[in-house]
Structure 1
Amino acid sequence: MKIIDVQNSRPTQDGAGVNIRRVADFQRLSLDPYLMIDELKSDNKADYMAGFPAHPHRGIETFTYIRKGGFEHRDQMGNKKVIGAGDVQWMSTGFGVVHSEMPVEGDEGLHGFQIWLNMPAKDKLRPPQYQDSTDSGLPVVSNHSGARLTALAGNWALDGQAVSSPLQGLAASGAIADVELRASGQAQLNLSAWEQALIYVHSGSLTEASTCQLLRIQGGAEVTLTASEQGAGALVLLGHRIGEKIAHMGPFVMNNEAELRQAVMDYQAGRMGSIS
């Protein structure tokens, strides 16, 4: 595995005061097509119960994955779903989405992610799209070396075993998986079809990185992930670089400042809709 760089996620707040850890790059676009990875992990309700009240997006795709606890999602398209442990949800916001994500009451705590992918300029104003896994579930494949891969989006191969998520069509051929490794376990992944490859360690540690660290590695090859003696859990995020300049302001990601101003005006005029 050729490591390009290692980044630490940093504590911050978003929504109505939710404590999260974040890795983001809206300047150099080193994570392209990914823009931001937010992790919410806490057993303290005060860290997350304020949630994410109604807010807009344009020009990005949001991907939510819950490992523990749950959120209720609502949007102006009429979708109302509880995204619980083991489920994912994807929105290709295009022209615009107004949505809310509010934590579900419970005592188990919350561990989940929201990931932003950029959209190419040609798709930024298309109608929004929505998918989730609440009805279909997500496929899981294991090996004899102590690895378990859950295909969250796209197509995967673990030690030659192919598996496909029901969520397909992410921007820039994005593919996301959760790989869990027992102590000293190994997983061989074929990344030859993708230019960009990111690994975010959410539990335990790999031999190359610890919890809350993001590895950016060279794509286009096979890689082997090896856990430390404490085991590991990591998100693997793949895709192709879009390679376009962006303009970013809050929940909007466009290609220039004029498009950002138009996004604000469209939202304020109600052209993105509202949650009933």
Structure 2
Amino acid sequence: MISRDPKREINRVIPAVDSQDGAGVRLKRSIGRNPSARLDPFLMLDAFSTDNPDDYMAGFPPHPHRGFETVTYMLNGHMIHKDHLGNEGELRSGGVQWMTAGKGVVHEERPVAIEGLMRGFQLWINLPAKDKMKPAAYQNIEPEDIPHIELMGGAALKLIAGSLTLGDITYQGPICVEETQPLYVDLQLQPGTTVELPIPPSHNAFIYLFEGKATVEGQPLLIDAANRLSSGSTVSITAPENDVDNAITRLLLLGGKPIGEPVAQYGPFVMNTMEEVEQAIADYRADRLVD
């Protein structure tokens, strides 16, 4: 049953800006481009897309994290991952790496191009104070383990995290986080298609359009930007009828339950106070971060 809450609309746009991270990997950063551009519980969203190996092959040498989760979603290309826990794996095209830094993790990521193209996203999700010092954990989710749902009109979605009730069927993604209850959807639309998807009214949510064109309640989505949504229980997304330049529309729909706590961040450390951040830096320098 669809709620009578108003449909969500676009109420803020955070355009992505060109940035670099790691050993010079070129990317576009929207959420998290500055402290005022966060959206609780989301701290950062980076998009990377290039067929020039010079833009990404240096990768991300060993570096620390504490106090949040990272989600890497590969559209094209492979990523080799290693961390201090002994986890090592290859993130394939269509796969997801979900890492909980917790009290501390030191890891490295090395991109491997497939047919010259490296494309994907990395999302940072905050942890509540009570979980910031939990043990680190790591999940590598294979492409075949992510539900692929066909919708009317030739639309389709991949459900990476959270649950979606469509009609009489409830679908569950491979990731479920109790505290922030993230919803992570990769949606594809054919021209002239409209899809209405439920979003928990408690969640903050935004859309990141990365291919084609689309509108929400008649408002155009800006490409390569975090299009923040207003409150409501559903969002209706429409691809234009005759878009000859971009026949297929692709976007990410991301939602999460806000934590509502102070955020103190210094680079890869995200805590609730600067004193806790300073302790994280001291722990890292003294090789205590991952004890």
Q: Same fold (TM over 0.5)?
A: yes
Report if the CA contact (8 A) 1:61-1:117 is conserved. yes
Post-superposition shift, 1:119? 0.8
Report if the CA contact (8 A) 1:118-1:171 is conserved. no
Q: Distance in 1 between matches of 2:177 and 2:189?
A: 27
Q: Which residue of 1 aligns with 2:263?
A: 246
The answer to whether 1:201 aligns with 2:209 is: yes
Query: Of 109, 115, 118, which aligns to 1:110?
Result: 118
Post-superposition shift, 1:51? 0.6
The answer to whether 1:215 aligns with 2:227 is: yes
Residues 2-56 of structure 1: CA distance to partner in whole angstroms, max 9, x if unpaired?
Answer: 2211121111100000000001335336511001000011111111111111100
Q: Which residue of 1 aligns with 2:71?
A: 63
TM-score by length of 2: 0.89
Q: Distance in 1 between matches of 2:233 and 2:290?
A: 44
Cα distance, 1:159–1:111 mapped onto 2, change above 3 Å: farther
Q: Which residue of 1 aligns with 2:182?
A: 174
Report if the CA contact (8 A) 2:52-2:116 is conserved. no
Query: Of 268, 277, 291, which aligns to 1:260?
Result: 277
Q: Distance in 2 between matches of 1:111 and 1:214?
A: 17
Q: Distance in 1 between matches of 2:135 and 2:37?
A: 25
Q: Distance in 2 between matches of 1:76 and 1:135?
A: 25
Q: Which amino acid aligns with 2:29?
A: R
Post-superposition shift, 1:186? 2.0
The answer to whether 1:234 aligns with 2:251 is: yes
Report if the CA contact (8 A) 1:194-1:240 is conserved. yes
How many residue pairs end up in the alignment?
Answer: 274
Q: Which residue of 2 aligns with 1:83?
A: 91
Report if the CA contact (8 A) 1:65-1:89 is conserved. yes
Q: Which amino acid aligns with 2:21?
A: D
> Unpaired runs of 5+ in structure 1?
none
Q: Which residue of 2 aligns with 1:41?
A: 49
Q: Distance in 2 between matches of 1:113 and 1:86?
A: 11
Q: Which structure carries more strand by proportion? A: 1
Percent sequence identity is 38
Q: Which amino acid aligns with 1:145?
A: G
Q: Distance in 2 between matches of 1:159 and 1:218?
A: 23
Report if the CA contact (8 A) 1:156-1:162 is conserved. yes
> Unpaired runs of 5+ in structure 2?
1-7
Post-superposition shift, 1:176? 0.7
Cα distance, 1:161–1:181 mapped onto 2, change above 3 Å: farther
Post-superposition shift, 1:105? 4.2
Q: Which amino acid aligns with 1:23?
A: S
Q: Distance in 1 between matches of 2:66 and 2:11?
A: 30
Q: Which residue of 1 aligns with 2:237?
A: 225
